[in-house]
Amino acid sequence: MLHSSEVVEELNVRMLRDTRIPDVCAALGLSDSDVEAYLVGIHSAVPYDDAVAVLLDPPQGNLATAGLVAMARAHSEKLTPGQLEELAVRLVSKPWWTPSLQEMLDCARGQSLLRLSEFESALEATVELGDTKSDSSLVDRFVACLAHRVRGRAWQGLGEFVRARHHLAISCRIAEDHDFSAQLSCNTNLATLTSSAGALDEALELHRDAGLRATARDRGATHSLLTSHLAAAKCAIELKSTDLASEELKEVQRVLDRHEDDAGLDLQRGYAHLYAGEVAVQREDYDTGMQLIQEAQSWFEQMAPPSVVAALDAKVSLAEVAMLFGDHRSTFAIIEHLLEEANRLKGQDARSRLLWMQSCLFLTDQPPHRRAFDKLSAQAHLINNPAVMLKTLGNLFTYALAYLGDEEQTFLHQRIGNLRQFLEHESYDGLYKTYVTERYAHALELRLEGMSRSSSMPGPADGDDNGPQDSPGN
């Protein structure tokens, strides 16, 4: 037996709630018993290796079930492209294999490539998928929903936010039109993109869609529900709305308490701890905050298997705390070290966040040396989020206005202008106002202060205590 009687009972309940799963299965010519086998296949209580065993020797001769179980597990498990290739070798030659199952496998491969930050390859994996017509079958529309979701996230990873929004909006519309169980997760992807583009209030409203959350609860979509609450909590933290963030984290804990024995939720447990630490830091309870963040880092490192990218997120949060204490030289050294780790792990989001943090040091009363400025200016193109890149270049532009000449200022301003094509106009205009227009006053203040001292003290580029300094990393 691959599952207990309690699991079977839960699956039977979910069969009644996930109304579109039976419809999709029926469209593939599968019976009610196949639907239950499908649900067994996606349930986290069933080890993946055991599910593969079912594929090779399906119960009661339900061969077609094997394909659905394979696709379900490929999407729910964090499989590598290599593991997916192994599945393909085992399954593609089966007499029951269909084009629809192959397309689902392509979408699963796209998802696995996203986890490896192989965004171009993820686009290639789904390039032939996603087109639907008025007479398209339900299965075709299900595949289109998955494909547009993969492509949207891939374009987001490449910094093409306008294209990303186009595909993620389509995935949301398809999921809503056909009441697919992926509605909440599609909505969360779109909300996360919106947040990344700097529209935090709009993103938070999307994250907190009560109707989608209620549907997810009714259908037992635990992972999607947790992801929604965690993403909303992080968005609230970015808005410095600690009460709202705490409210979201309480909901996370309620869900986790109901599934305390589910090891498949360990990553979400770690992020709940991490975000609780970030909330404590915003409330200036630094000891508690640092303790919680450090515990989250240890948790991620001790998971089976460890989540090195999540652990890196915790380390970046600790670096942000270090910035608050004003030890800018040490913070610069920490960021340089973490950037090396982020590059090694292909942690693009962490790298973007770190490069932005480094740019913030150029707004302090003891900014790093000019060589550090040149290095960061050269690395800014590595930021995979155009909104974060604009913030980073905006910080460097402010520094250039205060300390450098017209050539550097003009070059940075042109780079900022080039980002307009990658962001929605409203997002770009809001960020430009905050990080360019309103920075003139601050930059001119610094320049006037420098001019008043220039007759008796060396300029910033020569080592003035109030100008660029040699950094520990150079």
Residue 116 to residue 353: CA distance in whole angstroms: 18
What's the number of CA atoms in the CB half-sphere (13 Å) around residue 15? 19
pLDDT value of residue 450: 63
Question: What pTM does this model have?
Answer: 0.77
- 394's torsion region: left (phi>0), alpha (psi -120 to 50) or beta? alpha
Pick the closest to residue 332 from 298, 300, 371 (CA basis). Answer: 371
> In the numeric block, which tokens belong to residue 291?
């303790």
Q: What is the pLDDT of residue 94?
A: 67
Q: What is the pLDDT of residue 236?
A: 96
In this predicted structure, what is the pLDDT of residue 395? Answer: 95
* Confidence (pLDDT) at 474: 34
Please give the chain's pLDDT, 474 residues, in tens.
333 334 334 433 444 345 455 555 555 555 555 555 555 444 444 455 555 555 455 544 444 454 554 555 455 456 677 777 776 777 677 666 677 777 877 888 888 888 888 999 999 988 888 777 766 777 788 888 889 999 999 999 998 999 999 999 999 999 888 877 778 889 999 999 998 888 889 999 999 999 889 888 877 778 889 999 999 999 999 999 999 999 999 999 999 999 888 777 899 999 999 999 999 999 999 999 999 999 999 999 999 889 999 999 999 999 999 999 888 888 999 999 999 999 998 888 999 999 999 999 999 888 999 999 999 999 999 998 999 999 999 999 999 988 888 899 999 999 999 999 988 888 899 999 988 888 776 666 666 666 665 544 443 443 333 333 322 233
pLDDT of 313: 96
Q: Tell me the pLDDT tens digit for each residue of 383-398.
A: 989 999 999 999 999 9
pLDDT computed for residue 96 by the predictor: 62
The pLDDT, as a whole number, for residue 445 is 67
Q: What is the pLDDT of residue 80?
A: 74
For residue 355 the two structure tokens come to 């490069």
